[in-house]
């Protein structure tokens, strides 16, 4: 959803107009048949802070839960360094009740050092961030499944904490872990995730999957029990010339051709072929960023011209 993270709302004149665009986009996505809507969990714009609106993810999801009725709701993905995991568990449980059981819990280590330090947060080593993530998931699970919770970890502690109401979903909302750090993050995925979300070209995505499979074997987890998904840009136009005329590119200065090759960018037929390639590799879900926001052209073309190729019935 367009929360302002990628400067997509900068052209709208008033902050209220920006918020309305976010709400209207979520409602339109639901009407178009999308399965879920997702929000970034960031505090600043990219590629650099620009004094432009970025709506906070948890409060945004709470609002969207009240104007939608079917789509599932998630952060892609929550930054574990921004909030106490006990408070996150409480908020997610509340949101699950508010939404009638439609929450997907997305969580990651946190990676954008500049915005964290700007807000006064420490930025630990990669190893510590992964260990904090592992403990945070354990904290949330005990709060969601026990009447009263005590937890004595290295980084987080509970002493008789109660989390009520409990989530409506049992035993708890699905756990999505975002990231593809091969040595540390994917180990936590193998241990704890219901869904694993990472990007990359098909060869890169396949390599990450192979690494995850090896971690699953090492920890005694069935690889098939983890649903693997892909997330990055989408940009769909009727013709190749229209695709090239759009030339949205990514955020980090890559060439148009590289951006097109590594994302769901192209005509409907090309995007269908790309999704088919990922699907053949075992990908079972796509969380797309529409690179032409605040326009709805990609949102609509993807729903009307691409999704039917993968819907049954």
Check if the beta carbon of residue 142 is closer than 8 Å to that of residue 161: no
Of 294, 296, 310, 234, nearest in space to 29 by CA:
296
Neighbours of 220 (CB within 10 A): 8
Check if the beta carbon of residue 103 is closer than 8 Å to that of residue 74: yes
Helix (H) or strand (E) holding 256: helix 256-262
Catalytic residue among 8, 42, 115, 262: 42
Concerning whether 42 is annotated as a catalytic residue, the answer is yes
Catalytic residue among 112, 254, 270, 297: 112
Question: Which residues are within 8 A (CB) of 242 and not within 5 positions of it... i.e. 6 or more apart?
Answer: none
User: First and final CA of the chain: distance in angstroms?
Assistant: 27
At 227, give phi and psi (nearest 5°): -80, 125
> What are the catalytic residues?
42, 112
């Amino acid at each position: 959803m367009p929360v302002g993270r990628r400067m997509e709302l900068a052209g709208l004149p008033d902050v209220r107009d920006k918020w309305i665009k976010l709400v209207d986009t979520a409602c339109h996505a639901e009407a178009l048949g999308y399965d879920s809507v997702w929000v970034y969990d960031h505090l600043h714009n990219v590629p650099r802070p620009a004094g432009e609106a970025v709506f906070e993810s948890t409060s945004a999801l709470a609002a969207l839960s009240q104007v939608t009725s079917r789509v599932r709701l998630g952060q892609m993905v929550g930054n574990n360094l921004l909030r106490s995991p006990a408070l996150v568990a409480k908020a997610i449980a509340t949101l699950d009740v508010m939404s009638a059981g439609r929450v997907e819990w997305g969580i990651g280590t946190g990676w954008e050092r500049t915005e964290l330090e700007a807000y006064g947060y420490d930025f630990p080593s990669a190893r510590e961030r992964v260990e904090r993530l592992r403990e945070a998931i354990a904290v949330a699970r005990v709060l969601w499944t026990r009447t009263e919770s005590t937890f004595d970890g290295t980084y987080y502690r509970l002493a008789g904490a109660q989390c009520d109401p409990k989530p409506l979903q049992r035993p708890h909302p699905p756990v999505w872990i975002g990231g593809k750090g091969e040595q540390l993050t994917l180990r936590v995925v193998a241990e704890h995730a219901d869904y694993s979300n990472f990007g990359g070209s098909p060869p890169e995505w396949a390599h990450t999957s192979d690494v995850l499979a090896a971690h699953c074997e090492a920890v005694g987890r069935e690889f098939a029990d983890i649903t693997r998904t892909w997330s990055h840009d989408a940009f769909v136009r009727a013709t190749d010339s229209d695709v090239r005329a759009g030339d949205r590119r990514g955020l980090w200065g890559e060439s148009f051709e590289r951006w097109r090759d590594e994302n769901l960018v192209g005509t409907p037929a090309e995007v269908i072929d790309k999704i088919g390639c990922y699907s053949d590799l075992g990908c079972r879900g796509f969380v797309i960023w529409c690179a032409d926001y605040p326009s709805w052209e990609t949102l609509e073309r993807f729903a009307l011209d691409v999704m039917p190729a993968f819907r049954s019935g």
